[in-house]
Structure formats: structure tokens, C-alpha cells
Amino acid sequence: MKKKTYKTIDLDVYEETLDCGLQVFICPMDRHDVLAKMTTHYGSGIISFKPHLKDKFTEIPLGTAHFLEHKMFAKEDGSDIMSIFQMNGASSNAYTSNHVTSYYFESPNKFLENLKALLDLVTKPYYTDENVEKEMGIIDQEIKAGFDNPYEAIYHTTMLNVFKTLPYRYPVAGYTDSIKDITPTVLYDCYNTFYHPSNMSLTITGNVNPKETIKFIKEYYDNLDYSNRPNIEIKKYDEPDEVYKKEETIYKEVTNNIIENGYKVSFKNIDIDLPKAFAYISIYLNIKFGGISKFNKDVYEDKNILGPISFWKDLYDDYLFIDFSTEVIEVKDIFERIYNNLNDKEFSMEDFDLFYKNALKEIVMMSDSVGQMNSLIDYQIRMFGKVLYDYYDIYKGLNYKECVQFINSLDFSNNTRTIVTKK
């Protein structure tokens, strides 16, 4: 194992890549609980690829990654993995995103028993016509409930209108029609391609002994044959810089109007490192739309706007997606206000220093949370392909002048506007 250290926050992380290719990251923390998360770098955004040991590209039904997540809990011997976690005092769950699928547990005791259950969960697939058909009804209801929910419906519509060719535009769970085409063969093709340990990472944070843990994991995988690694080939898409559709209204039984404003920002030719770029965009968005921003104060005083303007961001291939949403009595000029505030790129050094120092404070505070540290490590692996042990120093090295130059280089003009209103 290699021992690395998150600088300034003084947390050690023990790294090891097993012979099977699995990347393991263990961060001992003097806390009561331990959290373990197994992540495969396969999410709903992958729908066309060459399956392992096959020569041709195949396009799988929308929602397959999410369906596969559900079916990983089915075992040939009939064992109930969730019950094992519960009997061992652990809380456990799984989720699928556009980018990854993750399985995790958190528990104050019986760590190795729970870790074995987690490894069993991701290494022993069992798909049959019968259990796939049974799951189809469950997921069908989940999809319908999602589209009935106005907040999920507006998000699905926004994503569909932001992107033209990238599969991130489709709902993670797919559609009721698309999941009907999922078969055991489709699931095994996806599992054998993307659930090989060389495409996965295991992140463990909390009250754990690194040497004992890595020994246990190695012995587990020594009994399995993962010598035939897949050469993963995923279809590339030619995505335009412009949004696919600029505006759409959908109708639901809602009390107030819900609005969502999605911005598509090209990151193709940025001239600084991605971690620093993301740091600057985070600071800028907080200056403009954060809890103590002038914009948020104006929103609070506006009786037409029924809550703060919430926002989040993520990277989809070469594009930064920024999403704003809120509820309003009347739509009026809300989209223009968001647009003008985002594109008014003036901000002072005092503004920058305030949010820059707050970001440094938040990084230090993460070291007190088993969950936040686990999420940070997992997120950095997905975003940057490695753990950024100089994460604090990256933020420490930011400066106002470079931030201004970077923000001014970005095009915040491409956006789509979605409204949910009464019929």
C-alpha cells in the first residue's frame, strides 16, 4: 500500500491497485462509523459500446444501468444481501447516476462481515428471464412516479433540451417502453464489460485498520478469476455547443409555477487545469447566487419568488451544465434576471476573498465527516481520475485576477428554459 496524505487537513489515505485492477482507497478516521462504497464507472450515460468478447458496437435500452443496479441484489442462492446488512447493524443502499453506479454501507460494527456482503453484492450476478420480468414491473412504477412528480418532470425536460446527442439527456431510469427490451443477455453484456474490478474503485473511510482491510480484500479477490480484462470501447458523440431546444412548457397539477434554467457551457478549450477551473466556477456561482449574495437578498425581498434560487453544476464530457430552479407565482422576468446576473461578470476582490476563504473552511470541515470524505475521494476519482491530495493547496493557490480571466473566457449564453404550470 502507498500512504498518501491530504495536505493541511492531515488525513492519510492508503492506496492500492490489486492484481485484478480494483483501486482501493482507505482513509482511517477517528470516528465511530465506517463507510465503504464500491463504484463502477458505468452510468446511464453509456448506451452504445462494444461488449466484452464481442466485436461490434451494440446499443442497449435506455435505463439499463439503473436496471442492472436493481438486479445486482438478486443472488442465485436466494440470499438477501440487504438483510445481511441489516442483521449486521448497517445501513446500505445503491444509486445510479449519469456517470457511475455505486453500492455502499455505513455501520459502527461488524465491518468485515459487511464488507464481504458488499463484495458479494458486486461480484455475483444472477439474471434470469423470471427475475428480470419481475423487476420490470417495479421499475415501471418507479419511472411513472418520476414523470408524475413535477420536479422530476421539469428536470427530465431540461436535460432533454440541453443536449442533442449525448445520452445524458435521457432519464437515468429510462422510459417505460425502453426497459421492456432489457433481457438477461443485455444485463450480462453490461456486467461483464463494466463491472470488471479494473473499471471499479472501493473507497473506505472511518474507524478501520488499513492493513487488516487490504489483506481481507486481497484474499477475497484471490479466489476469483479476473485475468481476462475487457477493453472498454464507448461510442463518442458529436455534440453541438448550442442547446437542443431553448424553451418548453409542461403542464401538471401544481399550486405555483416551477421554473428550471439549464446552461450549457463549453469546456473544450479551457486553458487551466480542470480542478482549478471547477474551483473558480464554484466560487463565481456562490458570489453571484450564494446565500449571502446580493441576488439572493433581492430574491428574498421579491414576493413573487417563493424561495431561494437553488443551483448546482456538473460536467458532461466537454460541457459544464449549470442548473437553476425555484418556484414563482408568476414567471415574469425570472429567466432574464438569472441570465443577466450570470452574465454580469463583474465582481470585486473582496467578493472573491470572502467566498475563497469560505471554500477553504469547507474543505477543512470535510475532514470531520466520514460521509463527506468518502464522497470527496469518490468524486475526485470520477472527475479527475485520481485523488487530489493537494486539494486544499489548489484552492490556496487561486487568485482573483486568474478567476476574472477564466470567468470572462466562458460563454454563458446557451441556455434552455423550462416551466411547469397548471393546464
Q: Catalytic site residues?
A: 69
Residue 156 phi/psi, 5-degree rounding, is -60, -45
Answer positive or negative: Cα dihedral of 46, 52, 57, 59.
negative
Between CA 208 and CA 216, with CA 212 as vertex, the angle to 5 degrees is 110
Per-position DSSP letters for 356-383, written without gaps between them: HHHHHHHHHHHTT-HHHHHHHHHHHHHH
* DSSP notation for 303-346: TTB-S--EEEEEEETTEEEEEEEEEESS-TTHHHHHHHHHH---
Q: Which amino acid is at 226?
A: Y
Q: Is 49 helix (H, G, I), strand (E, B) or coil?
A: strand
Q: Which of 196, 28, 45, 44 is nearest to 111 (CA)?
A: 28
In angstroms, rounded to a whole number, what is the distance separating the alpha carbons of residues 256 and 422? Answer: 8
Distance CA 91, CA 11 (A): 25
- Residue 89 falls in which region: left (phi positive, over 0), alpha (psi -120 to 50) or beta: left
Residues 225 and 27 sit within 8 Å (Cβ to Cβ): no
β-strand partners of 5: 12
Neighbours of 393 (CB within 10 A): 12
Q: Which residues pair with 206 in a beta bridge?
A: 28, 34
